[in-house]
Amino acid sequence: MRQVTRVCLYLTLLILPFVTAFGVERFPPPEFDPGYKMPVTTMPVTRALWQSYLDVAVLVAALSLASYLVLKKRSRDGVLALSVFSLLYFGFYQQGCVCSIGSVQDVVLALFNSSYVVPLTTVAFFLLPLVFTLFFGRTFCSSVCPMGAMQDLVLLKPVKVQPWLEHALGVLPFVYLGAGILFAATGSAFIICEYDPFVALYRRTGSFGMLALGAAFLVVGIFVGRPYCRFLCPYGALLSLVSRYAKWNVTLSPTDCIHCQICDTACPYGAIADPMLKDAHPDPRKLALRRITLLALLPLLVVLGGWLGGRLSVPFSRMHATVGLAEQVAAEDAGKVKEPTDASKAFRQTGQPVEELYAEALRVRGRFVVGTVLFGAFVGLVFGVTLISISEPHERNVYDPDPADCVSCGRCYVYCPKEIVRVKRIQSRNVIPLTPVQSNPKS
């Protein structure tokens, strides 16, 4: 809790000194031949300030309503209705922007680049779902995120994913998160937004590849519950960590579970696991030995990951515009490339010395050396922690959703026999008698 508060305060202090964003040209515009007409730059329509505030207000209202529907009302129908609204508003109306998932990159870039000012709306979309998750679990995923809503609505014939495969694929969101942070921190690319499989569907425009990727996720989502959310979403990785410490989470019948396993079967996201251990009384010595082995393996995985990550510094750095331009110019000067690119032509017409370009490219590559080592170490840490997590016996006596994996969809409410009885009992209390109450006749 203290760490989350510290991050919130730091981000707030970061944006307070700035009132507006500004841009700096990387190279001055070149001088073209007389008669050349500059192409018209197409820019998206700028949203008015009041519209940005409205978006934040709608986000707060949707998060509040989702938390109420999931934890208090326990209504699957309400969650579905809110999902449709979120898909229409945050998805098709807003066209996927501002997006909480992509906002991670804006915040990271602002932290590492003092010339970039992240808009307050983006900060709000980044922080608010995390804050709500800290109190109410992943209610943002339940019906507020348009990506999750779209995948949840197309789920028709869910198929169970084997636990070993789910654990293996569950590492990918953290790897994707680390890569997104690396490229955003170095100012190279916003890969989370660039390869978003659903934005092209929201806007009904885009490359064939991205449209096909979004359609593929939806087709797979008919059978596999929320494939992007569970096995790729980087923001979902953050939410899964925060939700472990949430004050309130989705629960079923912790006091009188009858172990019917209906909720486990009904959950399409693998969030409800069998509480019965295969080995009810594990050997303490074997358990201690396993823990010591995995704990000793953890630093080795971190070091190995850092070494392997460092080997990626050169290919990863080519995603930065300065490094790519420097390599292109060097190849042209060496006669390895005959046809110059538009970027190299523009650079040469600026008259800037090539040595300055090479020096800047070396500085960028130096940052990638450090960044890729940290990225690889982070991936090694994720693998190690995952191995420790799945090897530890989790003693539970009831079927209850795992806070990290549960997306608060409310399906388990519909199928749990104890929950059905509880709802009927509440409804019977609220029934108004059809016949009027007769008063005692006078004597």
How do the pLDDT tens digits run along the chain, 443 residues long? 444 434 443 333 333 333 223 333 333 444 545 554 544 444 445 567 778 889 999 999 999 999 999 999 989 999 999 999 999 999 999 888 888 999 999 999 999 988 888 889 999 999 999 999 999 999 999 999 999 999 999 999 999 888 888 888 999 999 999 999 999 999 999 999 889 989 888 888 878 888 899 999 999 999 999 999 999 999 999 999 999 999 998 887 656 777 777 777 888 888 887 765 555 566 677 777 777 888 888 899 999 999 999 999 999 999 999 999 999 999 988 888 888 888 888 988 888 899 999 999 999 999 999 999 999 999 999 999 888 887 776 666 677 788 888 999 888 888 888 777 777 777 676 655 555 444 444 44
Domain parsing of the chain, residue ranges: 1-11+53-249
Q: How far apart are CA 95 and CA 51, in angstroms?
A: 14
| Of 223, 231, 233, residue with least CA distance to 268 | 223
Tokens of residue 279, six digits = 């080995």
Dihedral of alpha carbons 174, 176, 177, 179, sign:
positive
Quick one: which of 239, 272, 274, 287 has its CA closest to 388? 287
Residue with tokens 């960028």: 364
Centre a 10 Å sphere on the Cβ of residue 389 and count the other Cβ atoms it contains.
Answer: 13
pTM attached to this predicted model? 0.81
Q: What is the pLDDT of residue 430?
A: 60
Which residues are CB-neighbours of 200 under 8 A, at least 6 positions away?
206, 207, 210, 211, 214
DSSP-assigned letters across all residues of 78-132: HHHHHHHHHIIIIIIITTT-S-TTTHHHHHHHHHH-TT----HHHHHHHHHHHHH
* Residue 413: both structure tokens together: 């409410």
Tokens of 58: 């709608």
